[in-house]
Amino acid sequence: MTSLAQSLIEGARDGGYAIGAFNMHNVETTQALLAAAEQTDSPVFLQVGRAVIPHMGLRAAYEMTRRVVEESEAVNVIHLDHGSYEEVLEAIKLGFTSVMFDGAHLPFEENIKVTRRITDIAHEFGVIVEAELGRIPDADEAVNWEAYYTDVAEAERFVAETGVDTLAISVGIVHGVPSLTPEPLAVELISKIRDVVPVPLVLHGASGIPEDEVRDAIARGVHKMNADTDLRLAFRKGIEDVWTGRDEQFEVAMSRGRELMIEATKEKMRLYGCAGKARSFVQIPVAVARSW
């Protein structure tokens, strides 16, 4: 039986759009992502990522997300982002339906071997697996891009031998938003990888990318877009709007941050083309009342 996570990814590929995958950091940011998904009728991947795991632990982050999800009608998948081998196994036990094993730092042959093992285990439990090839630098880091880009031949072999469901690629993206003019996406490289890889492609570090490049990447085979920094900055602005120059209750600041993050997330969902697509997968009430 095809899982919801698999159906969402395949639906995005068939429909020529991308699904937004966004990191949650606390209750309010999780609520913001779900509210944006409800208001735009968008499916969404809620990502338990590298920042929140050291902060509260994988189990606590998952349980917090599940509690908020239970209050929402949004079509969603809870996804582990950049997980280690041990974290992936724990995530499968906890009930995640989508995981990313990040073995990009490993030698290529070892990456294939370990990712294959992860995929075999995950598929036994109906969990889909994302992996990454190539290196993604932090914003404004000086890099030789040719050494960071995903190799086409390696991508073809990697997917064939590991059986992963999606592949994250490096094509000029960075983690964070660069203060300098960003590297243009290597869009022709996306096309070359798509032509030899039979699974949907994923783009990490989608914050700060010009809208025309985002649309071009989607047209060339990217069907999951990971973004965090743009949404985090929107939340931060809400807090600063409330607290700059005056004292106010913590909850007032968090609520304003949530409001601005909702709007920023809705913009991403419309840009990615996933707005209006959730009803293709499940029946959603016309109106959902929320206390948040």
Where residue 206 falls among pLDDT bands split at 50, 70, 90?
confident
| Residue 283 pLDDT level (bands cut at 50, 70, 90) | low
Per-residue model confidence as pLDDT tens digits over 107-165: 999 999 999 999 999 999 999 999 999 877 666 666 766 777 999 999 999 999 999 99
Q: How far is 255 from 129, CA to CA, in rounded Å?
A: 34
In whole angstroms, give the CA distance from residue 163 to residue 198.
Answer: 10
Q: Summarize pLDDT for 3-62 with one digit per residue, the tens.
A: 999 999 999 999 999 999 999 999 999 999 999 999 999 999 999 998 999 999 999 999
DSSP 99: E
Q: What DSSP letter does each residue of 152-204 carry, written as one string?
A: HHHHHHHHHHH--SEEEE-SS--BS--SSPPPPP-HHHHHHHHHH--S-EEES
Residue (of 1, 6, 33, 7) closest to 280 by Cα position: 7
The identity of residue 163, as a single letter, is: G
pLDDT confidence of residue 141: 67
* Mean pLDDT across 66-91: 96
> Is residue 224 within 8 Å of residue 46, measured between CB atoms?
no
- What is the structure's pLDDT at 115? 98
Catalytically active residues are 81
Q: Which segments of the chain does DSSP mark as H helices, in order?
A: 4-15, 27-40, 52-56, 58-69, 85-94, 108-124, 145-148, 152-162, 187-196, 211-219, 229-243, 250-272
Write down the pLDDT at residue 178. 59
Distance CA(207)–CA(175), nearest Å, equals 8
Contact 251, 266 (CB under 8 A): no
Half-sphere exposure of 47 (CA within 13 A, CB side): 20
Predicted confidence band at 176 (pLDDT cuts at 50, 70, 90)?
low
Domains assigned to the chain: 4-280 (3.20.20.70)
Query: Positive or negative, the Cα torsion across 36, 38, 42, 45?
Result: positive
Q: Is the distance from CB of 202 to CB of 13 less than 8 angstroms? A: no
Q: What's the half-sphere exposure (Cβ side, CA atoms, 13 Å) at 187?
A: 12
